[in-house]
Amino acid sequence: MPHLTDIEIARRAEKRPLPEIAAKLGIPGAALIPYGHDKAKIAADFLHGLADDPARSDGRLILVTAINPTPAGEGKTTTTVGLGDALARIGKRTAICLREASLGPNFGLKGGAAGGGRAQVVPMEDMNLHFTGDFHAIGAAHNLLAAMIDNHIHWGNALGIDPRRVTWRRVLDMNDRALRDIVAGLGGPGNGQPRQTGFDITVASEVMACLCLARDLADLQARLGRIVVAETFDRRPVLARDLKAQGAMTVLLRDAILPNLVQTIEHTPAFVHGGPFANIAHGCNSLVATRAALRLADYVVTEAGFGADLGAEKFLDIKARIGGLTPAAVVLVATVRALKMHGGVDRADLGREDVAALRRGAANMARHIRNLRGFGLPVVVAVNHFDADTETETAALIDAARAEGVEAISCRHWAEGAAGAEALAHAVAGLCDGPSDFAPLYPDEMPLREKIETIATRIYGAARVEMAPAVERQLAEWQDAFGHLPVCMAKTQASFSADPARLGAPSDHVVPVREVRLAAGAGFVVAICGEILTMPGLPRHPAAESIGLDGDGNIVGLF
């Protein structure tokens, strides 16, 4: 087969009518709320019925995660889709759970977040634009709260909000560096109280995290109400519910909380819903979608953001904890190319066979395997095949996994679709039949400070954590009211350490916690290790400059 581009493959895909896709999971047509012909939301009534139905038991939850990502690419979403398609191909009733794509970044670098090659979710174009409007709704709910804060201060400030201590910023789904740091409220008394603030990208909103961790609309409303937005002049926290904002925010999210159903190009049902940042938030798709999928399918394949040190750890310690999920197996995606980079090879030299480098870089994979097995979970490595990989390299990778007691399976779903991931599907199904002894890394009652240290030493292989006194004080202050919450680590995705240049499996490094933030609505404490950008910028030549419509009305330049 000639190599078509992702968009060519997506456009040639013959989509089946969505009711037919839904029927594979026993979702009746009446439970579908159509958005166009190829996207639908699942109706709330049907979701409630699922949760309450004693005749239903949950399917097996399979988490797809990866080694620390490199510029070589590892193909985690592609593997999630390919594995889902392959499980369906071998006769398993399967659903895939993915995150939605953020619109803004697509106008910066050519992007797309719907898999690739023959392992894609469609309609790809819609998914990379407005999709079903969820992110716009989240932005509106977030910004309504922001407007209500400044409005409260403007009209007399009965709550005594300290304008210097408003932590709630605004959001846009756009890469716009000029909005990172602004002074608002200028122009005289009619425009409110001048103060310094800024915008984040919508996926960084705590509203996004709340929506993705809520069990239902009532739980969402409660979480939104608990969001801490500011402090008063006498340093008491101001909550969204103090401003009576949570009801209107929930109304704005009434549709956004319903999972979106689409299909892969091989017609496997895919729930694409939610998209919290994987640094300052937990980086998984919505709990509502995952839980619905588990009620409907026998096998549910989902992914977590970034590498396993960040994404899987948060999936297991935050989402699984809050949502009462028990994964049955974990798939760790690795590539020959990425492990060679972890072994010291430059990106430009990846075309050359280098087994020694691969063996060195495999230390990164090995630590992730040990970490994941430490959660009591069975693990398999998916070797996402690239054309330039040599047989010797692939064999070395498989050997390295075997040395950790884990099977590694070469997969060609990118080129071949489901057929290329059949062996992986059989292995995963086999693991799911075996025992899983899942437990999160730390108990709720462990103090916040210790939770951070536990993650840093046990998952990152760090010698210790370094905290500024202000950070220690802040954690101590929160311990009583919020000490039971899990911790959400914000760290570079590129390394086990906080230094993106330290590839492989560094040890004895120090993890600096520069800042901690309370996400009381979402239900976690964020520990920020290093620079975290919550509002991206556009590059010198943004992709937007070459995006447009051709003579037939087709989109060009977006992918």
- State the binding site for ATP: 70-77
- Rounded distance between C-alpha atoms, residue 171 and residue 458, angstroms: 35
- Rounded distance between C-alpha atoms, residue 224 and residue 341, angstroms: 42
Residue 158 C-beta: closest distance to a second copy, Å: 10
Beta carbons of 333 and 70 less than 8 angstroms apart: no
Q: Which residue out of 278, 408, 418, 456 is catalytically annotated?
A: 278
Residue 248 C-beta: closest distance to a second copy, Å: 4
Residue 330 C-beta: closest distance to a second copy, Å: 36
Query: Pick from 164, 254, 347, 464: which binds a second copy (CB under 8 A)?
Result: 254
Range 190-194, long-range pairs (CB < 8 A, 24+ positions): 192/150, 192/151, 192/153, 192/154, 193/150, 193/153, 193/154, 193/163
Answer yes or no whether residue 150 interacts with a second copy by CB under 8 A.
yes
CB atoms within 10 A of CB 155: 9
Q: What are 337's two structure tokens?
A: 């190319």
Query: Pick from 61, 103, 127, 424: which binds a second copy (CB under 8 A)?
Result: 103
Q: Within 37-96, which residues bind a second copy (CB under 8 A)? A: 37, 44
Q: Which residue out of 39, 76, 223, 226 is catalytically annotated?
A: 76
The question of whether 278 is a catalytic residue gets the answer: yes
Answer yes or no whether residue 11 interacts with a second copy by CB under 8 A.
no
Residue 294 C-beta: closest distance to a second copy, Å: 23
CA distances from 133 to 39, 259, 297 (A): 11, 12, 26
Q: Which residue out of 60, 92, 99, 449 is catalytically annotated?
A: 99
Q: Within 485-544, which residues bind a second copy (CB under 8 A)? A: 537-538, 540, 542-544
Q: Which residue out of 65, 78, 264, 335 is catalytically annotated?
A: 78
The question of whether 254 is a catalytic residue gets the answer: no
CB closer to a second copy, 79 vs 143? 143
Residue 257: strand, helix, or coil: coil
Beta carbons of 32 and 25 less than 8 angstroms apart: no
The question of whether 315 is a catalytic residue gets the answer: no
Residue 42 burial by CB count (10 A; 0-12/13-18/19+): exposed, middle or buried? buried
CB closer to a second copy, 405 vs 548? 548
The question of whether 306 is a catalytic residue gets the answer: yes
Contact string (CB under 8 A) for a second copy, positions 168-197, x = contact: --x-xxxxxxxxxxxxxxxx--xxxx--x-
Beta carbons of 164 and 195 less than 8 angstroms apart: yes
CB closer to a second copy, 4 vs 129? 129
* Distance spanning both ends of the chain, measured CA to CA: 21
- Rounded distance between C-alpha atoms, residue 98 and residue 114, angstroms: 9
Residue 298 C-beta: closest distance to a second copy, Å: 30
Q: Within 213-232, which residues bind a second copy (CB under 8 A)? A: 217, 221
CB atoms within 10 A of CB 17: 12
CB closer to a second copy, 34 vs 376? 34
Residues designated as active site: 76, 78, 99, 110, 278, 306, 386, 414
